[in-house]
Amino acid sequence: MPKASAPATPPESQNETASAQPTSLTEDLSGWWEGFQAAQPKAVHEVRKITRRAQAESGVSDMKKKVRRQWRDLRRAAAPVRDHDAAGEHLRDALKELGASATAQQRFEKGWAERRAQLLKRHPLPAQPPQGYDLPADWSARAEGALNKDRRALLKEGKALMKQADDPSNTDDWHDWRKRMKRYRYTLELSGKAPKVLKRMLEHLGRLQDAEVLLELLEAETEHFTRKDLAALRAREQQAGLDARAAARKLWPALKAELKGETPNGPDEADPASEETQPTTAPRPRTPRQPSKASTSQKKVSEKQPSAAKTKASPARSSTPKPTTAATTKTNAKSKAKATTTTTRKPTAQQPTRAAQADAAEPARRTRKTASTATTNKAQAHSKAPATRSRKKSGS
């Protein structure tokens, strides 16, 4: 048998002269056989799964009746012990969940171990593994035919079950539907992977089957539990069965679409039933920030000031102390006037500063001062001439 992760070659591309190939289940079984002989729970579980895959391969091969019977006997021998172990896991978790006393839990463990030993005596495990077999060259084509047959049956049976999903008397119909679906799954996995929606449906059907088995066990194995724990366990499993039916009914549309080949998002479509059971985390509301005293004061000042649409200018934010209302209004008025003047004034050439003008006029000023000083000195010299000289000039 090809490995599950390696898709098989389509029939139309296979070589017509290709020979049969041996199954790989014999090798898989040998890895668990020692633990299976010791009745280890994990080994028993794995061996039972291998026998189910062998059952799927028997439908696409020419397995001899003797070999087919050996694999069937191995599957039937592992079934009671595995069912016992699976039921024990549920009951063990239930007792802890219900808060059973330590004495009650020890009582259960002791009684359940004795029950397992009795099962192994009544259903001894085979001493020898079954014989191997070969898969024919056209096993892939045979598998496709088996899948089509089971697919039609699953659709028909599923439609009938969903109409009476709340009927507690049809447990055998649910069990038969589950067995066919498991065979369909293992046939799919001969050449690939089964879709997730199919696996999830099998989980719901498995929980329903476990609940039915546990209710029967609780009726027959009353000596392992106290009266209070027994009543609580019955109620728990009854509710678990109802929940499993409801989950299967809710998942049915997705599985039906998958079986018909109409799944819009492929086989990995989310399980609506499982999504509802998962708690959703709502976004935490944001806590409004408490305003500080400074922001409260600024808000009061802003309410008294005209809006930005009326003033067309707003004072720039600053870290300096806030002015009073009158000072703020005056500042806004000056800013408005300055902004208006700046906006309406046409750009002109840059005017020289007063210092630059004074430096430029300094030479001319000094020239005028020198000329004025010379004129004044000349006039003073003329007015101070000796009088005798003037009289001599006038007398001649």
Show me where the domains of the chain are located.
Answer: 20-137, 138-277
Q: Which amino acid is at 119?
A: L
Q: Is 226 exposed, middle or buried (0-12, 13-18, 19+ CB in 10 A)?
A: middle
Question: What is the per-residue pLDDT for 17?
Answer: 40
Question: What is the per-residue pLDDT for 363?
Answer: 55
Question: What is the per-residue pLDDT for 371?
Answer: 53
Question: What is the per-residue pLDDT for 69?
Answer: 96
Report the C-alpha gap between 265 and 242 in whole angstroms.
29
Are the C-beta atoms of 301 and 322 separated by less than 8 Å? yes
Positions in the chain short of pLDDT 70? 1-18, 263-396
Name the nearest CA neighbour of 20 among 186, 138, 131. 138
Neighbour tally for 366: CB within 10 Å: 10
Are the C-beta atoms of 154 and 181 separated by less than 8 Å? yes
Are the C-beta atoms of 191 and 143 separated by less than 8 Å? yes
Report the C-alpha gap between 41 and 84 in whole angstroms.
10
Report the C-alpha gap between 87 and 206 in whole angstroms.
11
**Would you say the C-alpha torsion 242, 247, 253, 258 has a positive or negative sign?**
negative
What's the distance, CA 36 to chain centroid?
A: 39
> Tokens in use for 266?
């492929």
